[in-house]
Every structure is written in C-alpha cells, then in structure tokens.
Amino acid sequence: MPKNRHLKHRRPPNLSLKRKAQPSKITLSFFAFLGVTIIGAAVFFNFLMPNETQSSIDWSAHGVAARHEYESFNDAGENQFESQDESVQEEVQGEAQELPEACVPIDPELTRMTGTIKNGDTPSSLLEGHLELAEIYSLCDESKDVYPLQNLKAGQPWTMVYSNNALIGLEYEIDANERLVVSMTDSGYEFRREVIPYEIETKTVSGVIEGSLFGSMTQVGENEELALQLGNIFAYDIDFTRDLQPGDAFKLIVDKKFREGSFVGYGQLAAASFTNVGQTYYAYRYTDKNGNTAYYDEKGRPLRKAFLKSPLPFTRISSGFSMSRMHPILNYRRPHQGIDYAAPTGTPISSVADGVIAQVGSNNSQGRFVIVNHNSGLQTIYNHMNKFAKVAKKGAKVKQGAVIGYVGSTGYATGPHLDFRMKQNGQLINPLKLKMMPAEPIASKEMPSFKAAVAEYKAQLEQPVQSATLGAPATSAQ
C-alpha cells in the first residue's frame, strides 16, 4: 500500500446523466409570438396578395419556363394598361384644351337701370357717384350740339347702362318719338338721336255720344288722349262745349303704338267722321308734295280755320255774352262782354289763332291775363288765369292751339273758369258769332293724289255706327 501513497487525490467522475436546463417562460412566449406572426403572414400573402404568392409557387413548382410565361403575360397586361392610360390622358388633355374656348363669353353682361326724371333732377344729381364732376361738365358741354342735357324734363324716362358695374352709356327719351343715346368709349363720348321703335297696329274705333266725348270714348275702351285728338280735328266746325247732343256718333281710323307688347299711345288719326245733330263731318289726313300735312274734308277743303271755336277743350259755358248781367261779386248789373268757360284749375288755355302776345299782366278785376293780337284787326283776351305758360312773354309769336296759360280763379271770380273776350278793331264782340274763314283748299294738281288717299278710308268711315247697348260697348277694332 505504500506505492499509492504518492498519488494525487482525484475527484471521482459523475457517471450519472446531466439534467438539461429548462426553457424560461419568456423564451416560450417569444417562440409562440413568432409562430403566430409567420402563420399570419402566410395567410396575408395567400389571401390578400394571391398573385404574388401564386407567382412564387409557380416559379418553384413549374420552373423557369413557367416563370417566363408568367412574366410575358404581365408585360402584355402592363403595356395594355399603359396604352389605355395614355389614351385617357390624351382625352382629358383634349377636353382641357377645349374648355377655355367654350367658357369665354362672347359679349360682356350689360345691366340697364331705368327711372323717371323728377322735378329738380339735373345731370349732376343723376350722375353723382358714377362720374367725376369734371366729367359731368364735359359730358353736358359736348351734348349741346345733339341735345342739351340741361333740358331734362320731369316725367321722361332715363336709362343708365352698365358693363361689369362700370357706366358705359345713357339714354334719355326726348319725347314720345325720339331719344338721346350717349355711348362712353375709350376715345370719349358719342351722341346720337334715335327714333323710338314702336309696333304699330291700325285700328278702327267707333262709338255713340251718350254724355261727353270723354265719357263716350272711355266707354268704348279708349282713353282721353284719343278724345282730344278727335276734338281738335273738328274743333273748327263743332263746339264740343255746347253743340254736342246725345245720339251723335263718331268713327275714326288710328294707329295704336305698342312697345314691348304694352300699349303706350296713339299715332295720328288717318281719317275720322263725326255726326252732329244729323250732319256728318269728314276729316282725312293728307301730306302734299311739299311735305305739308293737314286735315281736309272729302272735297279737299281744309278743316283748319283762322280761329278755333273755343280756347278750351270739352268744357261748359257757365256764362254767355250779355249787355246786362248780375255780377256775382259786385251784386249789380253790368255788361259781361265775353264767354265764361267753367273748367278745373290748371286746365290748359290755347290761343285760338296765330298771333303775337301784346300784354301779360294782372289786376284786381281780371286777375292774371294775356292779350294776343291777330290779323284782320282781331284781338283775344284771356282772364282769371291761375298761372302763365312759359311762352307767355310780351312780343312772343304764338301758333294756333299753343298753350298760353292755365285756368284759375284770380281777380273777380267765384270759382275756376276762363273769361274769354274778343275785340275787332278795338270793339268787344261776341266770339261765338265770329264768322269762320276757311283756309285755302288743296291745289288742283294735288287732287288725284288726294282722292286716292280718301278712297282708302271712305268706305270704312261711311259704314253706319251702331248704338251702344248694355254689356256690349259700341266699338270696333279692325
């Protein structure tokens, strides 16, 4: 046993099996998450991206040939889609090129603002805020040669034309037949007078007098303007204040004027007839070769006389010519050498003949008055006026029918009326007994043309006029 005394002591080997280390819970969780992720990815690529997945399977399963076939199919599809995309883009580009041309407006949008001239309106007040004051003065100065804008009349239509909120034009109706048109251009103002366009319809109107001419005319559907025209034509032969009788009849041929479908007034009467107390008077409008227009009877004699029968239309005589009349204010008898025409305040008073105004004045007895001198030593006097017309100036020439004043009750008057007087060679005479002097008839060389004009209307005027019946107005329109 001594030889073993020098051996090193060795630990004996452990012949038992070594125990394996157990995996931790973290490790197991990691591998579980990894597995779920791999499975989820497989499902995702298989269902949501089948083309890519299938192509990979095809490449692995069928080899390179199948892969080349697949790639050629994809290339063809992509080329087809690209060509379709290019054609769509070309169509869109073509439409985009066409749109700007279709959307460009041909003309700028115009706006018209129309109103009526009121008392006190001036070019400055109407154009303030649209033009500078210097521009307004220049506009008025340049318009003088065509129509002065300072002569704007109350009641006349006035239009302002705008383009994109900028004032580019003006229109002003001078009267019923003509208007002023102003164009504002880059080079300045342009002015012109234009005839107002109307639609014209020629109508025949007839009726029977049952009261006044005004009332009978409105009963057949017409207005007082037409009654005035008819009365003025026959004013030399018929005194409508005292000669008119129930049963008298009228017929006339007239142009009716329409504007944008609405009735706006009457033209001149072409022909007319009026039956007064059984006697029928005819009137035909005729223009001779010299351009003179007048009304004539069927024989070519002018209806116009040197004097009108009355200075007022369609009024009643409230007091006649007398050498002894009880004065309503002074309460004693004295001569009343004139004719009193009762009429509303403001009724226009016309000069009964051509003449020259000799005096315009006022006193306690006559009130405001006008005196007119005529040919053949005749003089007419118009008393108790409410106001004078603008033409009523001493020395002014007036035409027959010109308005010289308006009915009033100034001076010794109990109510509005006209005291009309006439002198011949300085002596007062009864105006109603003045013998009317006709004007010259149509020249013999004009008669063939005149008769042709008369024949056009004569048959229509000679047809009998039916009396008005209840519910059926006596009117005809042809």
> For the chain, how long is the longest CA-to-CA vector?
204
Instruction: Identify whether the C-beta of residue 317 lies closer than 8 Å to the C-beta of residue 340.
Output: yes
Q: Which of 59-63, 142-146, 409-413 has the lowest mean pLDDT?
A: 59-63
- The per-residue pLDDT for range 262-282, each reduced to its tens digit, is 998 999 899 999 999 999 999
The residue whose two tokens read 């007895």 is 365
Mean pLDDT of the chain: 78
| Pair of tokens at residue 403 | 């308005």
Per-residue pLDDT at 463: 73
Per-residue pLDDT at 438: 64
Binned at pLDDT 50, 70 and 90, residue 52 comes out as: very low
Binned at pLDDT 50, 70 and 90, residue 327 comes out as: low
Beta strand pairing call for 322-326 and 333-336: antiparallel
State pTM to two decimals: 0.56
Gap between the Cα atoms of 351 and 308, Å rounded: 8
- The per-residue pLDDT for range 190-232, each reduced to its tens digit, is 999 999 999 999 999 999 998 889 889 999 999 989 998 999 8
Q: Is the pLDDT of residue 58 over 50?
A: no
